[in-house]
Structure 1
Amino acid sequence: MFEKLSSEKVVSVTCMSVAGINRLFKKHCGVTAIQWREEKRIAHACYRLIHTEKRVC
């Protein structure tokens, strides 16, 4: 689906610290990067449960 993006990769591209990136992300998105990622993962799982024949167990 998407390429895995590590904090180290973002740091090297942006020339910012991990803490600086986290502050900027939270300022613009209202949640931390980890919270955002988890919300996206849950939304994707819900979509797959609703729109496919896949089961939880």
Structure 2
Amino acid sequence: MPQLTWQKSSFSEDQANCLYIATAPDGTLRLRESDTPDTILTTTRDPLAALLKTLSQEG
């Protein structure tokens, strides 16, 4: 796997568990948590955007 540049979520700044996101060379998005960095979720922009929209409406 190529080296990815991980960015920490701005919502995770004061949290013990942080969410990180990276864009892979093929354009897919990779997500991981700081407490389990070897577990990586792979998705694309549209499904992630739909999930975030749904979650923002729940709160």
Alignment TM-score > 0.5, same fold = no
Greater share of residues in helix:
1
Larger RCO (CA under 8 A, 6+ residues apart) = 2
Greater share of residues in strand:
2
The TM-score, its normalising length taken from structure 1, stands at 0.34
Please say which structure displays the higher CA radius of gyration. 1
The TM-score, its normalising length taken from structure 2, stands at 0.33
